[in-house]
Amino acid sequence: MNFIYDRKKTAVIYKDKEHSYYELIKMAKIYSSLMNIEKEDRVAIFMENRPEYMGAVLGVWDKKGTCTNLDASYNVDQLIYVFNDSHPKYIITSNENIEVVKKAKEESNSSINILNVDEIDITKDIEIENVAVECLEKDAVAVMLYTSGTTGNPKGVMLTFDNIMSNVDAIEEIKMVTPEDRLLALLPFHHILPLSFTVLMPLKFGCLVVILDELSSEAIKRNLQKYKITIVIGVPRVWEMFHKGIKGKIKESALSYKLFNICKSLNIMPLNKIVFKKIQDAFGGNIKFLVSGGAKLDKEICEDFNIFGFKMLEGYGLTETSPIISFNRIDNVVAGTVGTPLPGVKVKLEEDGEIVVKGRNVMKGYYNKPEATAEAIDSEGWFHTGDLGQFDGDHLKIIGRKKEMIVLSNGKNINPSDIEAEIMKGTNLIQEVAVTEDEKHLIAIVYPDFKVLEEKKIANAKEAIKWEVIDKYNVTAPKYKKILDIVIVKEELPKTKLGKLRRFMLKDLLKGSNLIKGTPDEIVPEKEVEKRGSTSKEINTQEFKAISKFIGTLHDEIEIIPESHLEIDLGLDSLDIVEIITFIQNTFGVDISEEDFSRIKTVEALCQYVREKGGNFEEKEINWKKIFEEPVDLKMPSS
């Protein structure tokens, strides 16, 4: 039986170039001819999203091999781990990743064979006996995907062809997707959700796939409109981005906001589509439904997309379940839930609320890790997800990760993601927030929207966020859910490629260490690497020496370099800022308004500002007694 065959139509579009089903199969056959592998031999695929990725998967399957799909951002050490763990015979890569592959091969003394798709001629003429790629045997391991390794070394999840087809068959059974559908692929193919639903399923059904080469709201909208996309599969971060922009535009007009609230109260889909036709058109005007997976979607976002005239279908699953366990159907959406179980999948809740699953979709196991497999799949075949849930009728609702629940000293259980969602509502000062426990109380780690802070001329982010956001949340929150402290960070919070927060890394953020960017799977605290110095020439200027010396009097034992962020690195509060402004006025004769100061982020930028304003250095101490004794010309009212 054929998995894919020549449908005499376009299969995939990438960078506006069309590739037919015939061309994709021919590409797969050429790759297949270059590999000398036996059944279920592993072949690593290590490249960015592109048509050649699809051809590589099909080429490996053409030889009955197993695809080991790797994160395209892996570094040398992570690649070496895979080489030593699963010993793939070949690695199919691209010019973008070839140097990392060569270095990993050299350092690991691996005998792995390298195929670079950018050096393979796929235009040459070849004889193809059967213009198709056949299905694998049901129990054959079709793909192996590595978990993110958040609690130890990554594990290779073995998914059989039947595991993969359990999801595809279920979608076919309920007739959700047809050969006329056009899907936008914007998530990385090394994750099972996009691999299954934007690569394998559309090719099996004969759909068109448009691969996005740039992840931005403009690029998404352009492709939606140009190619008349009907289905988009995204993660909550994508929908949060669009929701924030759309809702913001609606609120700018009193009439639009009134119409929004009327549609919300009536909840009539045909009316929603008419009222918000402009939003429909911005998405290309052909959307059948949108899909959200990979993490929990805020209920309000799901409901609002319905008002915008879209069907938002949230689903739930894991890599180990191929991935779908349950999802909302087009004609039966319950916002705030992840729908009903897939046909043929059994779901039940343990006494502690953990979701356990049994069915065709459950993995074969973890590669070469029988103990970890036995821990995940019990003797009766139930896979333990590690997620807590409850049923809302026949719809499943996710409460949170079992290991991520915060248990307070009073015995109260708290799901941090619920608090995070509440904090984010109604504010544009924050880009990301994470709630965790520190010294027996809740603390919020906040990555602000520095652009908005600058536009609003806010000089002190911490105080503004505390008063305008956190305190508003605390007013209505139960006592045990109140946030008692906040920490501001100047870089994005650590996340997986699908946008899931890596909560186990939050403790490092609370230790006062700035984070140095590594790969998405490896963010290293500063204390674990050689202490950074400064390469800025500013360090030798008169302005820097004077300003850093003064800041040192405000906060003892603090390292000050030109790149130090005034608020985040040096912890300056509003009173400190007043003192610095006064110091600069007295020392350099330069006046700085609080509005100007709000735009100055670092010590280096402050020095440059002073220099640009023509400040003349004159070292003297601030005489607060003299300042307070200066006469003030203030007319008091006579009454």
**Whether domain 537-627 has CATH 1.25.40.10:** no
% of the chain residues with pLDDT over 70: 94
What is the model's pTM?
A: 0.76
In degrees and rounded to multiples of 5, residue 547 shows phi and psi of -70, -40
pLDDT in tens, 517-531: 232 233 233 333 233
Contacts of 393 (CB under 8 A, 6+ apart): 334
Q: Which class is 1-136 in CATH?
A: alpha beta
What pLDDT does residue 25 have?
98
pLDDT in tens, 14-57: 999 999 999 999 999 999 999 999 999 999 999 999 999 999 99
Identify which has the larger pLDDT, 625 or 207: 207
162-358+387-400 against 405-528: fold identical: no
**93-108 average pLDDT score:** 97
% of the chain residues with pLDDT over 90: 65
pLDDT score of 621 more than 70 = no
pLDDT band at residue 597 under the 50/70/90 scheme: confident
Identify which has the larger pLDDT, 330 or 569: 330
What pLDDT does residue 207 have?
97
Cβ contact 183:388 at 8 Å: no
**461-477 average pLDDT score:** 90
CA 397/CA 514 separation, integer angstroms: 36
**Whether domain 162-358+387-400 has CATH 3.40.50.12780:** yes
User: Domain coordinates of the chain in residue numbers?
Assistant: 1-136, 162-358+387-400, 405-528, 537-627
CA 417/CA 399 separation, integer angstroms: 9
From 121-130, 282-291, 403-412, 421-430, the region with the lowest mean pLDDT = 403-412
Highest mean pLDDT among 139-143, 251-255, 601-605: 139-143
What pLDDT does residue 75 have?
94
pLDDT in tens, 154-191: 999 999 999 999 999 999 988 899 999 999 999 999 99
CA 445/CA 486 separation, integer angstroms: 6
Topology at the third CATH level for domain 405-528: GMP Synthetase; Chain A, domain 3 (3.30.300)
CA 46/CA 130 separation, integer angstroms: 27
pLDDT score of 512 more than 80 = no
**546-552 average pLDDT score:** 89
CA 316/CA 313 separation, integer angstroms: 10
